[in-house]
Amino acid sequence: MRIKPEALNSQLTSKLEPLYFVFGAEPLLIEQSLASILSIAKQTGFNEKTSFEIDGNFDWNLVTAEIANTSLFSPQRIIECKLKTGKIGVKGSKALSALASNIPSDILLLISTGKLELAQQKSKWFKTLEQYGGVIQHWEISNDHLVGWISNHMATFGLKANQEVAQSIAFCTEGNLLASMQEIQKLKMTYPDGNINTQEFLDQAQEQSKYTVYGLIDAALFGDTVQVSKIYNTLLNDAAMPILLSSALYREIKSIIDMSIDLHQNNDINAILQSHQVWNKRKPIITNTLKRHPYQRLQKLLLLLGRIDRSIKGMDNVNVVDELHTLLLNLAGKNQWAQ
């Protein structure tokens, strides 16, 4: 049966299924669900656990043998199978289907993996897991739900509701749930009574973000060419920087282009910022960008970014480092070639 992630704890308190399969695009959410299952399982006497890392060449007889092996120390045991991918092959499919349909009463079978294609969710082994146990799917948390997710976890840690802080964490971590959770844990250590000094936190976050890809983009959007060059040169030692920067720039410019189109139809910029769910902290920066850059210039910047991306992938031949710097300076307003 399918179990919604938010209903898992309720389901666990009413009945522990013989099998649980947790999968999806967010590793942290998968680990949280597995931790909830393990916690309840331990309370009901499952005190011993054996784990297997499984790829396409795995010998499934090892799992079968482990299940058949009677434990002298714990009558109830957990067998955990972590699938590296959903592509487990014909042998894996048959083995997993057989295991799922014949689970002994003293065994709890836990299976997990990352994101699955729709075709994999229609496979025989997936349907068998769904038939004999609980299946929990986790989706990526979209930007419009991220602030709510952070706020909920802040509350779980005993931190008082603070929309500005939640928005700042969401922006700085750019949807990385593990990084968001780490920021929440740091907040709890800094403010153990749960009362966050908002301005102190925002000042620290701004200082920390200056020399990141996102701080670099903000400097460009605000028109600070000196800061753009300073941060860009600082980040050049990071080999992954061009890929991260190109991806983040595409999302940012595409979003601003959409707002620029709306601006031609509606002069109320605050309404546009609201409809595009621009966080309060970023409204002055986006407003400034929309006033400085016409739609045509933004579109030309996006076209250049497309060439840069193709060059990163080896399908074009522009100088990625130089062109990214040029694009940022144009976004900051130094050069006017993109009129």
CATH number of the structural domain spanning residue 117: 3.40.50.300
Say whether pLDDT at 336 is over 60.
Answer: no
Whether 58 and 80 map to the same domain: the answer is: yes
In this structure, is residue 339 part of a structural domain?
Answer: no
Token reading at 53:
């890392």
Q: Which residue has the higher pLDDT, 142 or 303?
A: 303
Q: Residue 339: pLDDT band by 50, 70, 90 thresholds?
A: very low
pLDDT one-digit tens code per residue, 50-100: 999 988 888 999 999 888 887 656 688 999 999 988 888 889 899 999 999
| Same domain, yes or no: 233 and 252 | yes
Of 180, 209, 238, the position where a domain reaches its end is 209
Strand partners, 49: 78
Rounded mean pLDDT of 105-125?
A: 90
Is 248 inside a domain boundary?
yes
Same domain flag for 180 and 270: no
In CATH, what number is assigned to the domain containing residue 197?
A: 1.10.8.60
Mean pLDDT of 132-142: 90
Q: Which of 110, 138, 166 is the last residue of a domain?
A: 138
* Residues 52 and 130 occupy one common structural domain: yes
pTM over 0.85: no
Within a domain: residue 34?
yes
| Amino acid 208: pLDDT | 65
Would residue 314 count as lying in a domain? yes
Indicate whether 152 and 232 sit together in one domain.
no
Residue that is last in its domain, among 209, 240, 267:
209
pLDDT digits (tens, 9 = 90+) for 7-61: 999 999 999 999 999 999 888 899 999 999 999 999 999 988 999 998 888 899 9
Domain-embedded: residue 53: yes
Taking a C-beta distance cutoff of 8 angstroms, is the pair 60, 95 a contact? yes
Q: What is the CATH number of the domain that holds 273?
A: 1.20.272.10
In a domain, 91, yes or no: yes
Q: List pLDDT tens digits, range 243-278.
A: 888 988 998 999 999 999 988 887 788 888 888 878
**Segment 283-307 mean pLDDT:** 90
Q: Please give the backbone phi and psi of residue 103, each rounded to the nearest 5 degrees, phi first.
A: -85, 125
Clarify whether residues 159 and 99 are in a common domain.
no
CA distance 144 to 153: 16
Q: Is 77 exposed, middle or buried (0-12, 13-18, 19+ CB in 10 A)?
A: buried
The verdict on residue 156 lying in a domain is: yes
With tokens 């710097």, the residue in question is 325
Same-domain check for residues 56 and 79: yes
Residue 161 pLDDT > 50? yes
Question: Average pLDDT, stretch 313-319?
Answer: 89
Q: Are 201 and 187 in contact (CB under 8 A)?
A: yes
Over residues 163-183, the pLDDT tens digits come to: 889 988 887 776 778 888 988
Residues 51 and 87 in one domain: yes
CA atoms of 24 and 268, how far apart (whole Å): 39
Query: Is residue 35 located within the same domain as residue 124?
Result: yes
Name the domain count of the chain: 3
Query: Is 338 among the domain residues?
Result: no
Tell me the residue range of the domain where 251 lies. Answer: 213-332
Q: Domain check: are 156 and 134 in the same one?
A: no
User: What is the per-residue pLDDT across 203-232, written as a single tens digit (0 to 9) for each?
Assistant: 887 766 667 888 889 889 988 899 899 889
Q: What is the pLDDT of residue 338?
A: 42
Contacts of 150 (CB under 8 A, 6+ apart): 166, 169, 170, 180, 184
